[in-house]
Amino acid sequence: MSVRIEVIAAPGCGKCAAAQGELRAVAISLLGEDNVFWREIDVMEELDYAVSLGVLSMPAIAINGELTFSALPPPDQFRAALIRLAPH
Amino acid sequence: MYTIGKVAMLAGVSTDTLRYYEKEHLIRPASKTAAGYRLYNDEAMRRIRFIKHAQQCGFTLSDIRELLTLKQADGACCEDVRSLAIEKKLRITHKLLALQAMSHALDDLIKSCSGGKAVTADCPILAALENSLAEAAR
């Protein structure tokens, strides 16, 4: 199962970069590297796309094209959201 | 030092607005006269201009309070302010799209009706609105 994870943020936020790295590691450990399509989006470069997702605050996370988090979640919440995607 | 009336005139706002800014903790008079009249200094004037410019960019008073707090916070950096500005732009863009959708919906309604003296019971605009209400209720 391939999962598209998009982080919509304004580049330059040091604390966000560290938290994003942690979330990416969670996704890879849960789904496997080949199944994670991870994209970091500069909100100012893709503003229309961010708006189409419904992003109003940053950093936001969309999973498979759905806005799932309007701020970076704790790793356990992120893991839970990914587990819910898995086929039963 | 400036009286409230003088500040209001220089800044192009009403004295009520200045009292409201004070109530919202955005500005405060530097001192008061013996009779209790507010007196403002140049710093207050700068703040009022800052507030006005920020409002012109779409920031609410609550946003402006946050901006002023960031301005004075030791740990805050330019990136924090930029993020606020980007989030404001996102909200404005959302509103613009919603307004465009409303405008297109109105175009469709206007096209459906040629006007004239027909009774309102036959008005296509009212009928279309009636139908969309009925559809929404289903």
pLDDT at B99: 95
> Which sequence spans correspond to the domains of chain A?
3-85
Dist CA B100 CA B92 (whole Å): 12
Dist CA B37 CA B32 (whole Å): 5
Q: Which two tokens stand for residue B24?
A: 């919202």
- Quote the ipTM score: 0.81
State how many domains chain B has.
2
Confidence of residue B104 (pLDDT cuts 50, 70, 90): very high
Domain co-membership, B6 together with B52: yes
Q: Which of A10, A54, A57 sits opposite B82 (nearest CB)?
A: A10
Domain co-membership, B55 together with B89: no
pLDDT at A40: 94
pLDDT at A38: 96
Confidence of residue B131 (pLDDT cuts 50, 70, 90): confident
Range of the domain at B27: 2-59
Q: Which of B79, B86, B91 sits opposite A44 (nearest CB)?
A: B86
Pairwise CB contact (< 8 Å): B93 & A58 = no
**CA proximity to A61, closest of A70, A52, A53:** A70
| Amino acid making up residue A42 | D
Query: Which chain B residues in 60-79 lie under 8 Å from chain A, judged by CB atoms?
Result: 79
Q: For domain A3-85, which CATH number applies: 3.40.30.10, 3.50.30.40, 3.30.1360.20, 3.40.50.1370?
A: 3.40.30.10
Radius of gyration of chain B (CA): 24
Mutation pick from A15, A49, A55 vs chain B, by most beta carbons of B within 10 Å, is A55
Dist CA B100 CA B103 (whole Å): 5
Q: What average pLDDT values come out for chain A (88 residues) when binned by 10 residues?
A: 91 78 94 94 94 94 96 94 80
Which residues are within 8 A (CB) of B17 and not within 5 positions of it... i.e. 6 or more apart? B8
Share of chain B above pLDDT 90, in %: 67
**What ranges in chain A are assigned the alpha helix state H?**
14-31, 47-53, 75-85
Dist CA A30 CA B106 (whole Å): 49
Q: What is the CATH number of the domain that holds B22?
A: 1.10.1660.10
**CA proximity to A24, closest of A14, A38, A4, A13:** A38
Confidence of residue B80 (pLDDT cuts 50, 70, 90): confident
Dist CA B80 CA B47 (whole Å): 19
Residue in A with minimal Cα distance to B91: A56
Mutation pick from B93, B97, B99 vs chain A, by most beta carbons of A within 10 Å, is B93
Confidence of residue B73 (pLDDT cuts 50, 70, 90): confident
Radius of gyration of chain A (CA): 12
pLDDT at B10: 93
| pTM tops 0.90 | no
